[in-house]
Structures are given as structure tokens and as C-alpha cells.
Structure 1
Amino acid sequence: MSRSIIIDGSVIYTNYSQIMGHKKFEALLKEFIEILVEKNSPLLQALSPFKFGDEYDTKRIAEYFNLLTMRNLKELSHILSYTNPVQLEKFIEAFYTFWRSKHRFMIRNEKYVNDYNRRASVEYTMTMVADQFKAVIKNLYRQLLSNITNEFPKVMRQLPSGAQAMFLYDYVKCENFNLNWMEKIPTIWGAIFDPPAIFYTKSNKRKGIIPVVEKNIIDKIELSSNEWFRIPIFVGKLLFFNFVHKDFLAHGAGLANLFEIASPKDIKNRKPDGIIIFGISPDKIPDYTDEWKNAVVFKEKNLYVGVIPNLDENDYFGYMKKTTLTVHNLIMIDNGKLPIHGSMAKITLKSGKSAVAMFLGDSGAGKSETLEALNRLDEVADVNIIIDDMGSLSIENNKVVAYGTETGAFVRLDDLPPGYAYHTMDRSIFMNPDKINARVIVPFNNYKEIVTPTKIDFLFYANNYTEVKNNEERIKFFDSYEEALKVFSEGKRMAKGTTAEIGITTSYFSNPFGAIQMREKHEKIAEKFFKKLFETEVKVGEIRTMLGIKGYEKKGTILAAKALLKLIEKKG
């Protein structure tokens, strides 16, 4: 059975029979029993009356559980002469936990309408259906335990047990770009989350550089409407079609929390700038080679197509995000823009002074962490984040301006201050919170603001590996664009466990997502932009976050934030 459970949101769930009489309930039960058999688990003792030879009759077990919702265990003794209540209680508890370990999604087919009030009504209905389903599941669990133990719990726990995310979808035909199979794929236009949404995936790190191959691919691939969903998103100002296999729908939910979802109205008459296919079987990728196993971007005549194969090691949201952003960056370079792997925010002090600071650096350099540290300083009134991970620079009216790509952040929990993750729990998606490189996907800004051109005051290289003892050395400015380019191009950092790398590493422009694949073209663009930064008196320097130095993982970014605070205070 799939790790993802897809629940039909068009059904109103009102009774236990709808649950236990469903073929998915029996399939779930069978899968759980097979796992117990493989482990030779003592929990199987509860099912001994239902064992015939080497097989367990799951249909009879489901029917018996259905009866248990109406009668207590003693009253059903005429059906089964012996059933140990203690063992059966433990089995039900374990089965309930198994159900809750699944990725649970409710989907409902609703025609997209332009009228806001009608859409709001549809979303409200979906929420009510999901709440009803959750209530039936919880009450089913409690009723079974009550009729087994002949008691009712003194303490009731409202455990998350319904759908973790609800999706509204329609079938959309795009007038300017459509393959035969594409209009048959359900297109998600709305999402509702039931926090805390926690997903456990098979992988927790990203590795390698995504290769770019010149090859026509999109007309040679066909996706099944029964297994795939299309999630149209805006990546900055670019329109992407992200196709997600149902087994990886957790990463589709992540997209909805990280990017602006494009509506059917947005995509109907517009050609996509990029396409991402996540979770396709390698044998369905034409001319597949092992070099593409983590991800590959195909460059067609007028389109980039990113593909992430269905492999356990790719079951990590980082592959979804970074493949999407790689395609975005390739398009930016083609258009003469400078993609930036970094973060940026407008920092406003209580004194009224403000500045826009951009930080460039690879994963774990301390970009987001420094902004978060700034937000906790008493002298700071507001830190308005415009870019969290990827953006681009453009020259407009003879000034360098920046644009963002994401409305949310994919943040490493280990580097956040204590309590921050719980502060955002009500709107976050958690990925593998019990592991190293645990992540949270949390929205931070609205789409309109991140795509508005923003003039920058400071551009910093985020240096996480140099230890400094005095405040004067925490920020260093470059005297020439050549000196700055040398440091920014080298892209040195101390790896923090966010990828498969360890120790001091280098990555061209700290950007393995497009810049390194088109290095020659990127170098010319970078030189042009750095010249313009110095011509227009944007301060370009290096900020020492010390995030990669033992003992400074928390303190280093606070010290860096305080140094930047002093700079803003001195700014005219």
C-alpha cells in the first residue's frame, strides 16, 4: 500500500461502517499485519482467532471490529469464544498509531470559480468535511477501546488523526501549452492544512549537482491521471507546473507552503516557464542514466524540464525545492539576470532608521539565522524578509534591485533559537523533526511583496568558518569589485550537515543551482552586476556568522546581527 493515503473529500463521513467497510481500511489492516508477521510481533496474539493456516482473515477482522463498535467484548463472546482484551487493546493502539504514521490527504474535485465568495464557500465546505472525517476516526478509536476495556479514558487526547492536508482540484486545459495527458491530470488550486502537519520521509539530505542536458523530453513522457497531481506555482514571476506522484504528495504540500499557488485562471492562457516532475519511475525516463538518479534538468528549445526519479534517496523536500530553483536560475541567467543563493530583508530599527541587507551563501552559512537573530534584538522594530533562500538581481533605472522567489522558508530546525519552531507550529509543515537536518516549511511574506523590485543597501558574503574575537572584525567591506568577486566566486563555507558534504567546502558563487552549470555565462553577468554595485555605492562585504564553528552555533549569528545593527545605526 502507498505511504500516502488519499481520502475522498466528496463523501460526508458520519458513521464507522463507512470507514471499516472501505477497501482501503482492509488494505491498511493487511499491510499492518504483514509488518507484524515480518517482525514476529507479540501483537499478533490478539488475532489468533482469525488465523487460518499461515494467513489472517482481514475481512473477518474488519467485520469483528465493526461489531465491536456496537457491543462490548463480553457480549460478542458467542462469536469468538476467546479474545484476550489486553492483547486486543494493544493491537488497536498500535494499529491507530500505524494509521497516524501515514501521510494523509483529502482531495475534492471542485470547479474553480473566479468569484471569491463562492471559492470561500467551497473551501469552508471542504474544511467541514475534513473535520467530520477526523471526528469519526477519533471516535472510532475511542469506541473500540471502550468496548474492549469496558471503561472510558479519564484523559482524552485529541491526537491528529484525520487528513493532514486537504486539496481542491479541477481539470484545466491550458490554451497555449497542452499535451494530451496534461489536461487529464488533476490540477490543485487550493490547499488547507490541519496543523501541526508532520511528515516523515525516507531521506533527509540532498547531494550532488543537478546536471543540465540538452534533450527534448516532455513529449516523450506521459503521466497517469490516477497517480499524479499538477501543482502550478509562481517561482518569483515565473510560472511553473510541478507534477507530483501521489506517493510524494507530502512534498506537494510543502510546495503550497513555500510558493504562491497559481490559479486555473492564471495558467489557462499562459505557457509555463518551467516544468518539474517529482517521483517518476526511472524506467519511464527516456535514455535514463545513473548520473540523473538524484535529479536532472532537460533543456528543450523553449522550456526547462526538471525530473526527480522515484528513488528512496530522493524522498526529501530539498530535491523538490532545489530542482525548481535550479530551473528558475537557469532562466534568469538566460535573461541576463544574476540569481542569488541567499536571503534579504528590510531591517527597521526603533529609531526609525532602516536598511535592506542581502546575504549570499550556501546552505548552513547563517543567512536566515542572522536575520532571525536580528529580529530578537531589542533595538529592532521589524525584520521584513523578502528573500529567504533564492532571489535574483536586475538592473533597473541604473540601480541594482532584487526580487524574491518564495513566499515561505525551508528552515533547518537545528539552527533556530529554542522555541521558534513551536511559535510557528500553527502554520508550519515539519519534515523529520526527530532527525539531524530536521526542517520546517513556514510562510513568511506575501507574493506581491517578494516580486516587487527592492533596492539593496548592503550585500554580504555569509562566512560561517572564520572565527573572530572582536566586534570590528565581524563585518569587512571590500575596496574593489574584483576583490569582492574573488570571495563571492570561491563560495567557501563549513558544511553543516544539510547536504552530504563535510568540512570546509567550496561552491562557485555558493550556488550549485544553475550558476555552476552555466558558469561561463554567469561569470560575465556577475562581473557586470558587481561593477554596477560599486558604481552605485552599494556596500559589498563579508559578515562572519561563525555558524560552522564549534561553540558559536547559536552565539555567532547574534554577534553578527549586533555588528550589522551598529552599521544601520550609523547609516545616514
Structure 2
Amino acid sequence: MSRSVIIDGSIIYTNYNQIMGHEKFESLLNEFIEILKEKNSPLLHALVPFKFGNEYDTKRISEYFNLLTMRNLKELSHIMNYINPELLAKFIESFYTFWRSKHRFMVRYEKYINDYNRRASIEYTMTMVADQFKAVIKNLYRQLISNITNEFPKVMRQLPSGAQTMFLYDFVNCEKLSYNWMDKIPTIWGAIFDPPAIFYTKSNKRKGVIPIEEKDILEKIELSPNEWFRIPIFVGKLLFFNFVHKDFLAHGAGLANLFEIASPKDIKNRKPDGIIIFGINPVKIPEYNKKWENAVVIKDKDVYVGIIPGIDENDYFGYMKKTTLTVHNLIMIENGNLPIHGSMAKITLKSGKKAIAMFLGDSGAGKSETLDALNRLDEVAEVDIIIDDMGSLQIENNEIVAYGTETGAFVRLDDLPPGYAYHTMDRSIFMNPDKVNARVIVPFNNYKEIITPTKIDYLFYANNYTEVSNDDERIKFFDSYKDALKVFSEGKRMAKGTTAEKGITTSYFANPFGAIQMKEKHEKIAEKFFKKMFETGVKIGEIRTMLGIKGFEKEGTILAAKALLKLIEKKG
């Protein structure tokens, strides 16, 4: 059973028959009835008149529902005389809830046009089609309930029941890297969200370090254009082709909210730096082995290919994001740059003083949370986030500069202040909001700013495990680059439930996404960069967020933020 429902956006939906006369409606009805049969649900008693042997005639049920949109239940008694109105109303309510539990996507073929105004017109049309579909679905539900109960609800609820995300796609050939299967896959060039977009996935944790292999694989893979979509994105300045199976399209929507989508014009004459394939059946992966179960990165000639098998355990956006960023980091290391697993922001105080601070640390170390706490202090005018999770340091004109990768953030809800997620829900994607490690994907910056080289003032290791009571101990600077490298290399943290790890853990450079896989080369690059930072006046230190210490999950990052505020105030 697929959780994703793909809705044809080329149709203008104006009447109920377009919904109930569609084969997908009958298919959904069949699926819902099978679930009720497994549970031996009393709701099935509403369908007894449509039961023949052990099976239910879904075609006849659909036709009866269609008649119910035009006549009330009593008027149809000559057709079906043994319908219990209360049970049937409950069945319709449950079926409507079942529909809304699906991941709902509307897709529409539109040739990409360079002219901005014409593209805006296409996107507006798509929005109107989606709104019309949503209205028909809601009115269908209300009409059925009204004609069954013979009354109209005193309170009407505008429940989200249409498409959660709308995609515009074209077919684009990449002349620099062309495979028969690749050119046939629909390429998404635009996305429209109907917030709040809430997706429930089968997993909500990531585990393991992604193995790296070298072999030819792209020419051996075959993806069906009926089941796959290509979402081209920019990861920093690198171009990626992310192929997503329709069953995992919620993670494709996440990509669109987290990265800059590349246009067909961008990809036509440019070879991709990386390729990600998310949701492929393991039996269709050439030379598959158990080590690749969660993800693998394969270097095929001069292109890195990340593959995430389509199993329930991998149904988590963290696998999409981290595999993509692992490929980014491997390319950075090959180019002699230093990938940073961390966050960075331009901090401006009301006094006019400014600083660029970068925080390095693994998931749950308190990087984003400290910046958010800082932004809520009265003395702070603005915290302009440039990097939320991954970036890179490069040396340009004999100076250290930083680049970002994402235009959004994949944030753990449990560590955010109360109400923060609701403040941004009109532009966010929520993943499993009812579970531990619930996440929200929210945009925070524009693409131009994250790829603009930015000089940094401070580089902090985010320490979430050391408890301190003295404000002077919350930030400590290193006296030498060797002392700094020792702490940064160890990558110690208290696990926060974002991965399968527990307790105090270590991870080389707090970066299992490329750094550990190319450790020898990374060590040389890190030493070079840390020396250069000491030479050029970039201060390297440790900030104690206490996010991993019981009782300080919220207060710790606020105290760390206040310590950083004092530091910037003293800055010359």
C-alpha cells in the first residue's frame, strides 16, 4: 500500500463524478476496506448491503455514493433499503480521515519557460487547480454527510484535504551526463506548498556511517519514469540530481523546502557534481550487499552517487539530507576545502557591534538552539543564519571564508522553545510531530547569501555534555591550534535521540558525513586550516551549551547565548 497519492494537475476539478468516477477513488476505497477487515472493524456493518460472499462491491459503493451527492438517504431507499445512516456517516468520516492521512501530491506537466512572468502565470494556474481540487474534495465530504444525516453542521472545519504539495515538471536532457533512463524521468522545476504540510514517515532516526565504494553503477541502474521524479538542487555551489521514488515523495518535498531548486536551464549543459537515488528496491541495486542497507555512496568514475534503499527503516528525511551532504563533503575534501558540520550566523547587536560565529558539532550539540536563544535576547538586533547544518571553509585571498549548503533548516522540535514551530508553520514541513525527534523543515535564507564567501570571527566547538555553573566557563578559547584540533577531532557529545546512539559518543570532527570516510586527507586539510585561522586572527574556542545535560535542555543554550552576547559586546 502506497502512502503517496499522485493527483493529475492537468485536470480542472469541478464536479464530484471526477473524483468518485476515478479508478484511484475505487482503489482507495478497496485499501480502506481491507484495513477495516484486518481490524474486524464495526464500521464494516455499514457496508453489509454491498457485501457478496466475503467481498465488498466497491464499484457499487462508489456509484451509491455518487447518487448520495444528489439525493438524501431516504430518497434512495428504493435502491438500497438496509442502510444504517449513523454507521454510514461514521464510515464516511473515517474514510475522509484515511484520505487525509495519505501523502498527497499534485503534479502537472509544464514546459519550463525562461521568462519570469510567464512562469509566474503557470504557477498561478497550478495554484488555482489545486485550490479547486481541494474545494471539490471538502464539498464532496460535506454533501455526503449532509445527505446521510439530513442536517448541515453548525460548525464547519476547513480541514486540509487537498494536495499538500504541488509539483511542476518537464522532461530535460542533461547533455553532459546522459543515460537512457535518466533522460526519461520527469524533472521537477517548481514546487508549491499548502501549509501546514505534515508528513508521517515510518522511521524518525538515522543510524550508521555511510560506506564509500568505487565502481560503475549508473549504467546498470534502471528507474521507471512512471515511479520516479528528478529534483535537481544546488548544494552550496554544487549541482545535484536527486531522484525520488513516488512512495517517498514527502522527502522530495523536504528537499524543495531545504535546498535551492535548480532550473532546467541550469542543468541542461552542466554535469551534476553528485547524484542521489532515494527509495530504490534493494533487489534493483546492482551488486547490493547488506552494508549498504541504510545508504551507500559510490564513486562512479568522477561522479559520486548516493543510494538509499527503499525500506521502511530508511523512511526518514535525515537519510536524504545526510547522504546528500556526505557527497558534498567528499567533493569538498577532494578539492582541498574543509567541510564543517555546524551552523554559522552573522550576529548584530542593538549597539551596532557585529560578529560572524561558526559552531561545529554533531546532531543535538546545541548549534541551532544557541543561535535561536541568542535571537530572543533583548540586546540582539538580528541573527542572520547563513549555515544551519553543513558548510565549508575555503581559503581565498589568503583569508578563511565560509560557504553554506542549504537555504533551510531541518530542526528537532523537542529542542526548540515552546511555540517556535507554530510561529513558522505557514512555511514549514512537519515530520512526525507526535514522536520523539519530531522535525520541522523551514526555510531561513536565500541562495545568494549562502554562496557568498563570508569571513568568520569565531569558530566554536559546541559542547553539550560539560556542566558549568560559572559564566566565565561557558566559553573557553584555545591557546594553540594543536589544542583546538584535539578537541575538534575527538568530536565528543551527549547523544540526544536524533540518531540510534545513546550516552556520550565520539565522532571524528563531529562529522560522520565524509570526514571519517576520508580521514587521512581530512586531517591534513584540518591542520592547514586551523593554522591559518590562528595566523589570521580567527578565534577558536569551545562553547558549553549543556543541551545534553538533564535539566538544562532549555536553560543551557540560553546561558551559552548570553555568554556569547557578552563576548561580542567586548569585541573591539
- Counterpart in 1 of 2:77? 77
- Counterpart in 1 of 2:332? 332
- Counterpart in 2 of 1:191? 191
1:174 aligns with 2:168: no
Secondary structure at the aligned position of 2:356 is classed as strand
- Counterpart in 1 of 2:545? 545
How far did 1:564 drift? Answer: 0.2
- Counterpart in 2 of 1:362? 362
CA deviation string 1:403-452 (max 9, x = no partner) = 00000000000000001000000000000000000000000000000000
1: CA distance between counterparts of 2:324 and 2:174? 21
- Counterpart in 1 of 2:410? 410
What is the letter of the counterpart of residue 433 of structure 2? P
Aligned residues: 572
1: CA distance between counterparts of 2:119 and 2:559? 47
What is the letter of the counterpart of residue 356 of structure 2? V
1:330-479 alignment runs, 5 A limit: 330-479=330-479
2: CA distance between counterparts of 1:536 and 1:282? 49
Q: Tell me, which stretches of 5 or more residues in structure 1 are unaligned?
A: none
Q: Tell me, which stretches of 5 or more residues in structure 2 are unaligned?
A: none
1:158 aligns with 2:155: no
- Counterpart in 1 of 2:561? 561
Secondary structure at the aligned position of 1:344 is classed as strand
- Counterpart in 2 of 1:288? 288
1: CA distance between counterparts of 2:109 and 2:286? 32
- Counterpart in 2 of 1:299? 299
Identity of aligned residues (%): 86
- Counterpart in 1 of 2:145? 145
Deviates more, 1:177-186 or 1:242-251: 177-186
2: CA distance between counterparts of 1:313 and 1:173? 33
Secondary structure at the aligned position of 1:291 is classed as helix
How far did 1:130 drift? Answer: 0.1
2: CA distance between counterparts of 1:540 and 1:525? 16
2: CA distance between counterparts of 1:375 and 1:220? 50
What is the letter of the counterpart of residue 409 of structure 2? A
2: CA distance between counterparts of 1:555 and 1:293? 39
- Counterpart in 1 of 2:312? 312
What is the letter of the counterpart of residue 253 of structure 2? A
1: CA distance between counterparts of 2:117 and 2:2? 36
Secondary structure at the aligned position of 1:252 is classed as helix
Moved beyond 6 Å, runs of 4+ = none
1: CA distance between counterparts of 2:465 and 2:173? 51
- Counterpart in 2 of 1:96? 96
- Counterpart in 2 of 1:222? 222
CA deviation string 1:45-102 (max 9, x = no partner) = 0000001000000000000000000000000000111110010010000000000000
What is the letter of the counterpart of residue 145 of structure 1? I
- Counterpart in 2 of 1:531? 531
1: CA distance between counterparts of 2:189 and 2:38? 41
What is the letter of the counterpart of residue 456 of structure 1? I
Deviates more, 1:523-532 or 1:176-185: 176-185
What is the letter of the counterpart of residue 474 of structure 2? R
1: CA distance between counterparts of 2:164 and 2:490? 42
1: CA distance between counterparts of 2:118 and 2:174? 23
How far did 1:215 drift? Answer: 1.1
1: CA distance between counterparts of 2:533 and 2:539? 8
CA deviation string 1:106-160 (max 9, x = no partner) = 0000000000000000000000000000000000000000000000000000000
How far did 1:268 drift? Answer: 0.4
1: CA distance between counterparts of 2:537 and 2:120? 48
Secondary structure at the aligned position of 2:541 is classed as strand
CA deviation string 1:181-209 (max 9, x = no partner) = 11110000000000000000000000000
CA deviation string 1:317-365 (max 9, x = no partner) = 0000000000000000000000000000000000000000000000000
TM-score w.r.t. structure 2 length? 1.00
2: CA distance between counterparts of 1:512 and 1:416? 24
1:276 aligns with 2:276: yes
How far did 1:177 drift? Answer: 1.2
**CA RMSD, aligned part only?**
0.4
1: CA distance between counterparts of 2:340 and 2:433? 28
- Counterpart in 1 of 2:514? 514
What is the letter of the counterpart of residue 500 of structure 1? A
How far did 1:301 drift? Answer: 1.7
- Counterpart in 1 of 2:114? 114
What is the letter of the counterpart of residue 396 of structure 2? E
- Counterpart in 1 of 2:52? 52
2: CA distance between counterparts of 1:167 and 1:81? 44
- Counterpart in 2 of 1:500? 500
CA deviation string 1:552-571 (max 9, x = no partner) = 00000000000000000000
2: CA distance between counterparts of 1:504 and 1:182? 43
1: CA distance between counterparts of 2:181 and 2:204? 32
How far did 1:222 drift? Answer: 1.1
Secondary structure at the aligned position of 1:385 is classed as strand
CA deviation string 1:236-255 (max 9, x = no partner) = 00000000000000000000
2: CA distance between counterparts of 1:400 and 1:219? 40
Deviates more, 1:173-182 or 1:344-353: 173-182
Secondary structure at the aligned position of 1:488 is classed as helix
What is the letter of the counterpart of residue 294 of structure 1? N
Secondary structure at the aligned position of 2:65 is classed as helix
2: CA distance between counterparts of 1:384 and 1:251? 26
Secondary structure at the aligned position of 2:180 is classed as coil
How far did 1:176 drift? Answer: 1.2
1: CA distance between counterparts of 2:416 and 2:9? 36
- Counterpart in 1 of 2:41? 41
2: CA distance between counterparts of 1:65 and 1:236? 51
CA deviation string 1:206-249 (max 9, x = no partner) = 00000001111111101100000000000000000000000000
CA deviation string 1:503-551 (max 9, x = no partner) = 0000000000000000000000000000001001111000000000000
